[in-house]
Amino acid sequence: MTEQATPIVPDHAAAQSYWAGKAGDWVQWADPVARLAEKINIPFLESIDLAPGHRLLDLASGAGEPAMSALSIAGENGLVVATDFVPGMLTGLQKRPGADQMKLAAADMQALPFADTVFDRISCRFGIMFVPDPAAVARECRRILSTDGVCGFMIWGPQEDQTLFSILSQAVFDILGQEPDSHHQSIFRFGRKGDLQDIFLDAGFHSVVETDQYHKARAHLDRPFWQAQLHMTYGHLLTDLDQAALDHLNNHILCLFKDLPRDEQGSTILNSHTRILIAQKG
């Protein structure tokens, strides 16, 4: 592959079209990966001090994360509103068990259709990097938060810290000849610490803190654990492949994983790096 390009500012219409094409894959894999998502969601929601009775707005909810996890915390006296700028995502989310307990709204996080100071908490997991104007998002979040409101954004660290993304990207290039596109580069748009923090400070938030999280997962190569991420990231490239071509791609992915370091138990080590930004309004 060529050297990684500098992430570019996403085009809004192109991003919406891109995600509309991916809605089916995300909805299909939402329930199978729900338990794994919960392990990420709960600590994230705890970091914004989500509590029973809170009114939570979840941005870029996709197929429902972390909004689904927030329901059990906000409780029956609270409110969870899940939003996305792709209606197809919300249509899929609506079919998931338990989704009838939340409100759904099609919304662009750069211009939210809500009144001032109506939410106690805002969450966004892996969404703000695809927005053309993140400064507008920060201003909108501050506008709709209550006086002591808090928002939290989970983003990816640098691409070189992400084993699974790197392996899949390499395999797709090796077998399909597909270079990482601008969307893929945008995933790591805020990989450099401080870039997103500066945006929220400029928007007038009282306190903005970024916390890095480095993870090491142990994977067993006797099962294709990468399937969900492969289809959710590259499903648009796999649609026209026959079974033989898919098998060839998966076999190559397995070979790449076999080249990685293993621990004493023979498990393959998968590194990942996420970052959580917490912004307090007052």
pLDDT tens track for 147-178: 999 999 999 999 999 999 999 999 999 999 99
What is the pTM (predicted TM-score) of this model? 0.92
Q: How confident is the model at residue 12 (pLDDT cuts 50, 70, 90)?
A: confident
What is residue 29's predicted lDDT score, i.e. its pLDDT?
80
The answer to which of 2-6, 93-97, 194-198, 214-218 has the lowest mean pLDDT is: 2-6
- Cα 210 to Cα 179, 195, 196, 222: the distances in Å are 31, 10, 9, 37
Q: What is the pLDDT averaged over residues 102-126? A: 97
Q: Over pLDDT 90: what percentage of the chain? A: 79
82 DSSP 8-state letter: E
- Cα 207 to Cα 100, 153, 197, 215, 278: the distances in Å are 34, 14, 10, 26, 8
What is residue 1's predicted lDDT score, i.e. its pLDDT?
56
What is residue 212's predicted lDDT score, i.e. its pLDDT?
97
What is residue 221's predicted lDDT score, i.e. its pLDDT?
94
Tokens describing residue 69 = 């996890």
Q: What is the pLDDT averaged over residues 1-21? A: 67
Q: How confident is the model at residue 4 (pLDDT cuts 50, 70, 90)?
A: very low
Tokens describing residue 1 = 């592959």
pLDDT, mean over the chain: 92
18-28: per-residue pLDDT in tens? 777 877 888 78
CA–CA separation, 24 vs 183, rounded Å? 18
Q: What is the pLDDT averaged over residues 100-116? A: 97
DSSP string, 239-258: TT--HHHHHHHHHHHHHHHH
194-227: per-residue pLDDT in tens? 999 999 999 999 999 999 999 999 999 999 999 9
- C-beta separation of 70 from 92 below 8 A: no
DSSP string, 10-21: PPHHHHHHHHHH
Asked if residue 5 has pLDDT above 80, the reply is no
